[in-house]
Amino acid sequence: MDHFSATDHAMMARAIRLAGRGAYTTRPNPMVGCVIAHGDEVVGEGWHVRAGEAHAEVHALQQAGERAKGATVYVSLEPCAHTGRTGPCADALVAAGVSRVVAAMRDPFPQVDGAGFDKLQAAGIAVESGLMVGDARGLNRGYLSRQERGRPWVRIKLATSLDGRTALENGESKWISGEASRHDVQHWRARAGAILTGAGTVLADDPSLTVRLGDDTPFLPPLRVVLDPGLATVTRGRVREGDAPTLYIHAPDAKRPRGMTAQAATAPVKGGLFDLEAVLKLLAEREINEVQIEAGATLAGAFMAAGLVDEILLYVAPVLLGENARPMFDGLGITTMAERHHLRIVETRYIGHDVRLLLQPMHTG
């Protein structure tokens, strides 16, 4: 147990819930929520909606007005100390005369990283950090991964049969999962900065990889990324159509066709295959926090074998496809039980007639 009161916990839970409202819009910035209170009475609250616009603390301070004086501020991430696209929140909190700031965690962003807390403390404000840090880290797992590891959080989404198959031998896979699952995936896409697939899936399925939520919920269209060493698919496919941008990652020696309009970048190739760590680094440099892989067994297996997967989002349909169908992961090369991959089930849920499993490899914190 920590030393925080029940009111502190309730207020921070509220701030973290508010932060989550920015899941589809704040990137590349972190999601942040803020609640300003006197005891149990909330006098102001807000969340960061979009990069370049006001931070959560500013919204909450505006709502609180004069009542911010002497109040406790609950914020899901350390208030910023630098002038980026907006002014420093730590200064705004000092100017408003708040007396205590409770943060869920420190912001590892190099220009903040404790400097926000220092500013507040220097002004005589009581600062405490670490309340509900696990929830706060989970919320911003993509942003934190990019700041701390220099690569995005990697989620593989797969639809499988009950016998763990992802496509028939002839490549057909439409549709293994039900309509409710295919709709559910849209929400996971909307929170990702990029949806990544391989040349094999573009050729077999011609996916558009866009977000279709079916209502007017605002979202930022994720970048669509195709790993295509030889640029074999660049002139075809729905993945180039629509409003979302598309990035082709290809081998350094591949020739870009004349008149190619999509974005392109090169990544190093070893033995005919991309260096997937370099691919992820490239995406982090483009400020991608979370990448959702929607590829076939070749690429899914390559990411898994390289130990680069943080999360697996699995829709298991109650159908059997038999032993000739494609597996989930090619190339794991497991021959002894000692080599098996251990996963932790984080969540299970029925989605229509399917079961959705969220899993994390044991090495993921």
Q: Is residue 175 a known part of a binding site?
A: yes
Q: Toward ligand NAP, which CB reaches closer, 57 or 205? A: 205
Q: Is residue 173 a known part of a binding site?
A: yes
Q: Toward ligand NAP, which CB reaches closer, 30 or 229? A: 229
Region 191-210 residues binding ligand NAP, contact defined as CB under 6 A: 197-201, 204-205
Q: Is residue 188 a known part of a binding site?
A: no
How far apart, in whole angstroms, are the C-alpha atoms of residue 158 and residue 353? 16
In angstroms, give the least distance from the CB of 214 to ligand NAP. 20
Query: Quick count: other Cβ atoms within 10 Å of Cβ 141?
Result: 18
Give bridge partners of residue 210 from the DSSP assignment: none
Binding segment for ligand NAP among 20-28, 65-73, 226-234, 256-264 (CB under 6 A)?
A: 226-234
How far apart, in whole angstroms, are the C-alpha atoms of residue 69 and residue 17? 24
Contact flag: residue 230 with ligand NAP (CB under 6 A): yes
List Cβ neighbours of 78 (8 Å cut-off, separation of 6 or more).
Answer: 103, 105, 106, 107, 112, 114, 116, 117, 129
Of the candidate residues 72, 188, 296, 316, the single one contacting ligand NAP (CB under 6 A): 296
Is-contact 264 126, C-beta < 8 A? no
The 10 Å CB-count burial string (b at 16+, else e) for 163-175 is eebbbeeeeebee
Of the candidate residues 72, 173, 181, 292, the single one contacting ligand NAP (CB under 6 A): 173
- Greatest CA separation for the chain: 69
**Paired tokens of 32:** 């942040």
In angstroms, give the least distance from the CB of 176 to ligand NAP. 5
Q: Is residue 55 a known part of a binding site?
A: yes
Q: Toward ligand NAP, which CB reaches closer, 199 or 280? A: 199
Binding segment for ligand NAP among 29-37, 134-142, 291-299, 339-347 (CB under 6 A)?
A: 291-299
In angstroms, give the least distance from the CB of 171 to ligand NAP. 4
In angstroms, give the least distance from the CB of 242 to ligand NAP. 18
Q: What are phi and psi of 207, to 5 degrees?
A: -75, 155
Contact flag: residue 171 with ligand NAP (CB under 6 A): yes
Contact flag: residue 357 with ligand NAP (CB under 6 A): no
Q: Toward ligand NAP, which CB reaches closer, 116 or 296? A: 296
Instruction: Check if 57 is active-site.
Output: yes
Q: Is residue 322 a known part of a binding site?
A: no
Angle between helices 89-96 and 115-122 (to 10 degrees): 20
Q: What DSSP state is assigned to residue 68?
A: G
DSSP labels, 218-234: --PPPEEEEE-TT--ST
Q: Toward ligand NAP, which CB reaches closer, 239 or 276? A: 276
Q: Toward ligand NAP, which CB reaches closer, 37 or 313? A: 313
Block residue for tokens 């409710």: 180
Residue of this chain nearest to ligand NAP (CB atom): 296
Nearest to 132 by CA among 61, 59, 35, 55: 35
Is-contact 267 245, C-beta < 8 A? no
- Residue 331: helix, strand or coil by DSSP? coil
Region 87-116 residues binding ligand NAP, contact defined as CB under 6 A: none
**Paired tokens of 311:** 């999360």
| Binding site residue list | 55, 80, 89, 159, 173, 175, 189, 201, 205, 209, 212, 294, 296-302
Residues of the shown chain interacting with ligand NAP in the complex, contacts defined by CB under 6 A? 158-159, 166-167, 171, 173, 176, 197-201, 204-205, 227, 229-230, 232, 273-274, 276, 294-299, 302, 326
Q: Which residues are catalytic?
A: 57
